[in-house]
Amino acid sequence: MSNEKIINLTVNGASVQFIAPSHRTLLEALRHEGFVEIKCGCEKGDCGACAVLMDGEPIDSCLTLAWHADGHEVVTIKGLGDKGNADPLQKAFIDTGASQCGYCTPGMIIAAKALLKENPDPSLDDIKRGLSGNLCRCTGYTRIFEAVEVAAAEMRGETQEGEAA
């Protein structure tokens, strides 16, 4: 009996098929398939750097076996937007200077995306709880929290201070 499995899933809107040993994590499998925007941090679910959305829910891909994603939809940071069509969270992280080295940023944005889906008008405490599974070693989190607030306001259609209505 082979310990390899054929995995079929959708990643960022595209069908992906690969063969993976039964012990391979989703993080390892996706990076092996070229999705290097998913960062490998602690490999034990403590840092959130490897976060992706699976069927709209945030997961740590380092704790999820690849075969568990078979038949599911996965969205990485690249699936949210790009330079020409950035997600409001991506834009807010740039505009507020929330990214320092950038290593934690994909996971932070994925966690924030899930938070804002559940709660489009979060308080600062809600944001802190929503991002509590993500670690940043560069900042004091102030700009990260600010970026989520800015993106939430934009997504609600509110203008920011100093902008024309």
Domain shared by 73 and 101, yes or no? no
Q: Which two tokens stand for residue 102?
A: 């950038």
Domain shared by 45 and 110, yes or no? no
Residue 3 has pLDDT above 60, yes or no: yes
Domain shared by 49 and 64, yes or no? yes
Distance CA 165, CA 90 (A): 22
Domain boundary (37, 57, 79) is at 79
**Is residue 164 one of the residues assigned to a domain?**
no
**What's the CATH code of the domain at 97?**
1.10.150.120
Cβ-count burial 48-83 (b if 16+ within 10 Å, e if not): bbbbbbbeeebbbbbebbbbebeebebbbbebbeee
**Is residue 160 one of the residues assigned to a domain?**
no
Domain shared by 74 and 85, yes or no? no
Non-local (6+) Cβ contacts of 40 within 8 A are: 27, 31, 49, 50, 62
Task: Give the residue numbers spanning the domain of 64.
Answer: 4-79
Domain shared by 72 and 90, yes or no? no
Q: Which two tokens stand for residue 148?
A: 């989520």
Domain shared by 103 and 132, yes or no? yes
Q: Kindly report, residue by residue over 48-98, the tens digit of the pLDDT.
A: 999 999 999 999 999 999 999 999 999 999 999 988 999 999 999 999 999
**What's the CATH code of the domain at 72?**
3.10.20.30
Q: Kindly report, residue by residue over 106-137, the tens digit of the pLDDT.
A: 999 999 999 999 999 999 999 999 999 999 98
Domain boundary (45, 79, 113) is at 79
**Is residue 163 one of the residues assigned to a domain?**
no
**Is residue 145 one of the residues assigned to a domain?**
yes
**Is residue 10 one of the residues assigned to a domain?**
yes
pLDDT at 164: 46
Helices (H), 4-104: 26-32, 77-80, 88-95
Q: How many domains does the chain have?
A: 2
Domain shared by 33 and 96, yes or no? no
pLDDT at 160: 60
- For residue 23, what are the CA distances in angstroms to 5, 12, 68? 10, 23, 11
Backbone angles phi, psi at 63, to 5 degrees: -105, -5
Q: Three-state DSSP class for 49?
A: coil
